[in-house]
C-alpha cells in the first residue's frame, strides 16, 4: 500500500521543490497533525515506555510528559509564525532573521549537522530498536536482523524519495491507524490474561505507588526510583523537568519554539489556522490518547514477567525493554502476532520516512540550493526546480545509506541521546526570543550553539557536576554567554529587521523596529496567548489523567479532572478571539 501511495504522489511531488518538501503547503490540519503523531511513534517508543513503567511506575513517564509545556508554547506562540514565514525549512529562518557571513555560516553548519549527523543518531536509534524487536520476536542473530532492517529502510527510502512529503504524510495517516489498532489489541489481550486479571488484577497485584500518576519529590539527595515506592525524584530534578528543560534545551522533535519535522508540518499546512490546529491536535493525541495502551501492557508484563534477581542493572534495563515484544510473542495467536509485527513496521516506516524527508530538506534547501547551485545559476526556473527535486531524491537515498552505516557503528544510542540533549542546554531561549526580541542577532545563536558543547565537555571530563546540577550549570553559563555576546556585538541591520517584521508581524519586543516603520503598536495579544498556553496545559494534563482514572475506575478523581479539563477548555476558548487564534 505504501508503495502504491508513493507512486500515486510521485508526479505531484516531482513538480517542484515546494511540492516535494512541503506538499505544496496544502495539508489539512488533521493530516499534518496525525503525521506529527505518527512520526514520533517510532519502533522504540512502546519499548521505552515499558522500560520506564517497569522501573519507575506510571510516573516514570514524566521523563517525557514534561515536554507538553514547551509543546503548547509552540502551538500558540509559534505555529502560525512558522506558516507565515513562507520558508521551506526551519533552518532557512536563520537568513530571514539575520544576514551576513555569520548567518550564512550558521545556516550551512546546521544543515549538515542536523540534516545528516543528528539525523543519523535519530534513525540509528530507531533502527537499533527494530533490530532488538526482530531478535527477541524471532530469536534470530542480530546480524540477520540488521539485514531485515536494511531491507525495510530501503523500501521506506524508495517511497519517500518518490513521493516527497505528500506520500510521507498520507502513509503516516494509514500507518498510524494500523499501529494504534495493534497496540490497543495487545493491551486488551494482556488485560484478559488470567494471571493479570484485568484492571482489578493490576490494582491488587501491583504496589499502589506503581499506579501513581505523579512522582514523589524528595527535598534532599539525588533522584532515585523503585517499583515499591513509585518514582522519587529530587527537588532539583523536578525543577529541571518542570521549570527549565522544556524551554532551555534543544532536542530533536521537541525544539523550543518548534523546529525539525514538527515545523515542517506547520509550514506544510494550508494556512495559519490549519498550522495551529494541527499542532494542537498533535499535543493532545501525543500526550493524552497514545500512551495508555502502552502503559497498560507495561503494567501487565510486570506481573507476567517478574524481574530475575540475578540480573545486573544493565541486563535489567534490557529485560524491561524486551518485555513488550515478549508479550507479543508469547500471548498472541499467530494472526495477531503478525498484526503486531506489522504495527511495529508501520511505526518504523512512518518515523524513518519523515526523518529522511526532513534531512533531505536541509541538505537541499539549506546547503545545495543555498551554496552550491542557487536558482540564478540555471537558465530557467523550471530547470532549477527539476534539478532540485532530482537531487532531493538522491539526497534521501544518500541519507539512508549514511544512516545504515551509522547504525552498524552504534553500541549505546542512549549515550548519544544524553550528549545531544545536554549539548543543547541553553540554546532554547535564543530560539524562542529570536521571534519576540529584535536585539537577538546571529552571534547570539552561534554562541548559544557552541558554548553548551564546551561546558558539557568540561563537566564531563572533570566530573565536577552530574545531572541535574550539570544541566543547570550549562544553561546558566550558556545564557550569560549569549547575552554578553548579544550586547557586545551590533544588532542586525535595520533593513533586515524591518523585512522580518513586515513578513511575520511578531508580538513582543519589536518597538524600535515598528517605530522605524512608522507602525503604531497594536493590541497587545501576549497576555491572551499566555492564557491560551496555560489553559491548554491544564486541559491536556487533566485529559491525560482523566483517561487514566477512568481506566482504573477512580471515579471521584475522574469527576474532578473532568471539571478541571472543562475549565481549561473554556478558558482556552475564551482566549481565542482576543489572542487572534480565531482570525
- The model's pLDDT over 314-323, given as tens digits with 9 standing for 90+, comes to 888 889 989 9
**Within 13 A of 368's CA, how many CA atoms are on the CB side?**
20
Q: How far is Cα 58 from Cα 41, in angstroms, rounded to an integer?
A: 19
Residue extents of the structural domains in the chain: 2-422, 492-522, 531-583
pLDDT band at 171 (very low <50, low <70, confident <90, very high): confident
Whether the predicted model's global pTM rises above the 0.75 cut? yes
Q: Residue 195: phi, psi to the nearest 5?
A: -70, -20
Of 440, 437, 579, 444, residue with least CA distance to 511: 437
Q: Which of 343, 290, 286 is nearest to 43 (CA)?
A: 343
* Most confident range, picked from 346-350, 380-384, 489-493: 489-493
CATH for 2-422?
Answer: 1.20.1730.10
| Grid cell at residue 127 | 533502527
Strand 216-218 relative to strand 224-226: parallel, antiparallel, unpaired?
unpaired
Mean pLDDT of 532-556: 97
- Rounded to whole angstroms, the Cα distance separating 85 from 500 reads 9
CB 246 within 8 A of CB 255: no
- Residue 164 in this model has a pLDDT that exceeds 70: yes
- 3-class DSSP state for residue 226? strand
3-class DSSP state for residue 216? strand
For helices 142-191 and 334-363, what crossing angle results, to 10°?
A: 120
At residue 421, the pLDDT reads: 67
- Check residue 496 and give its pLDDT: 97
Amino acid at each position: 500500500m505504501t508503495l502504491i501511495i508513493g507512486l500515486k504522489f510521485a508526479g505531484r511531488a516531482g513538480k517542484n521543490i515546494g511540492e516535494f518538501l512541503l506538499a505544496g503547503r496544502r495539508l489539512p490540519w488533521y493530516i499534518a497533525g496525525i503525521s506529527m503523531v505518527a512520526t514520533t511513534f517510532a519502533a522504540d517508543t512502546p519499548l521505552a515506555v515499558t522500560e520506564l513503567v517497569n522501573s519507575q511506575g506510571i510516573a516514570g513517564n514524566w521523563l517525557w510528559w514534561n515536554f507538553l509545556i514547551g509543546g503548547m508554547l509552540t502551538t500558540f506562540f509559534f505555529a502560525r509564525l512558522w506558516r507565515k514565514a513562507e520558508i521551506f525549512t526551519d533552518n532557512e529562518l536563520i537568513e530571514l532573521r539575520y544576514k551576513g557571513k555569520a548567518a550564512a555560516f550558521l545556516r550551512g553548519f546546521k544543515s549538515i549537522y542536523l540534516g545528516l549527523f543528528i539525523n543519523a543518531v535519530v534513525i540509528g536509534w530507531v533502527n537499533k530498536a527494530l533490530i532488538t524487536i526482530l531478535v527477541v520476536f524471532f530469536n534470530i542473530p542480530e546480524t540477520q536482523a540488521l539485514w531485515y532492517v536494511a531491507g525495510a529502510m530501503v523500501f521506506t527510502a524508495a517511497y519517500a524519495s518518490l513521493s516527497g512529503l505528500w506520500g510521507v504524510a498520507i502513509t503516516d495517516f494509514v500507518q498510524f491507524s494500523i499501529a494504534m489498532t495493534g497496540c490497543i489489541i495487545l493491551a486488551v489481550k494482556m488485560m484478559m490474561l488470567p494471571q493479570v486479571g484485568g484492571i482489578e488484577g493490576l490494582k491488587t497485584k501491583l504496589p499502589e505507588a506503581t499506579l501513581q500518576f505523579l512522582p514523589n519529590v524528595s527535598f534532599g539527595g539525588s533522584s532515585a526510583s523503585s517499583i515499591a515506592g513509585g518514582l522519587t525524584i529530587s527537588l532539583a530534578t523536578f525543577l529541571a523537568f518542570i521549570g527549565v528543560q522544556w524551554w532551555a534545551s534543544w532536542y530533536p522533535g521537541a525544539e523550543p519554539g518548534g523546529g525539525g519535522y514538527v515545523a515542517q508540518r506547520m509550514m506544510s499546512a494550508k494556512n495559519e489556522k490549519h498550522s495551529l490546529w494541527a499542532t494542537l491536535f498533535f499535543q493532545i493525541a501525543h500526550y493524552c490518547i497514545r500512551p495508555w495502551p502502552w502503559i497498560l501492557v507495561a503494567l501487565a508484563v510486570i506481573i507476567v514477567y517478574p524481574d530475575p534477581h540475578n540480573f545486573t542493572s544493565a541486563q535489567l534495563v534490557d529485560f524491561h525493554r524486551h518485555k513488550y515484544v515478549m508479550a507479543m510473542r508469547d500471548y498472541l495467536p499467530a494472526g495477531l502476532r503478525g498484526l503486531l509485527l506489522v504495527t511495529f513496521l508501520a511505526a518504523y516506516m512512518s518515523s524513518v520516512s519523515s526523518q529522511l524527508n526532513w534531512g533531505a530538506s536541509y541538505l537541499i534547501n539549506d546547503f545545495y540550493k543555498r551554496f552550491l547551485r542557487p536558482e540564478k545559476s540555471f537558465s530557467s526556473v523550471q530547470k532549477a526546480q527539476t534539478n532540485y527535486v532530482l537531487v532531493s531524491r538522491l539526497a534521501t537515498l544518500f541519507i539512508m545509506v549514511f544512516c545504515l552505516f551509522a547504525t552498524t557503528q552504534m553500541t549505546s544510542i542512549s549515550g548519544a541521546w544524553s550528549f545531544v540533549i545536554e549539548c543543547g542546554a541553553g540554546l532554547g531561549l535564543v530560539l524562542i526570543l529570536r521571534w519576540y526580541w529584535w536585539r537577538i542577532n546571529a552571534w547570539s545563536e552561534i554562541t548559544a550553539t557552541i558554548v553548551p558543547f564546551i561546558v558539557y565537555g568540561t563537566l564531563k571530563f572533570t566530573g565536577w557536576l552530574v545531572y541535574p546540577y550539570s544541566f543547570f550549570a550549562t544553561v546558566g553559563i550558556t545564557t550569560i554567554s549569549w547575552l554578553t555576546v548579544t550586547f557586545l556585538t551590533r544588532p542586525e541591520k535595520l533593513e533586515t529587521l524591518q523585512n522580518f517584521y513586515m513578513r511575520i508581524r511578531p508580538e513582543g519586543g519589536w518597538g524600535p523596529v515598528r517605530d522605524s516603520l512608522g507602525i503604531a503598536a497594536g493590541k497587545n495579544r501576549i497576555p491572551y496567548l499566555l492564557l491560551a498556553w496555560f489553559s491548554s496545559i491544564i486541559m491536556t494534563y487533566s485529559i491525560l489523567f482523566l483517561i487514566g482514572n477512568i481506566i482504573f475506575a477512580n471515579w471521584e478523581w475522574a469527576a474532578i479532572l473532568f471539571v478541571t479539563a472543562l475549565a481549561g477548555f473554556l478558558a482556552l476558548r475564551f482566549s481565542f478571539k482576543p489572542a487572534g487564534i480565531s482570525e
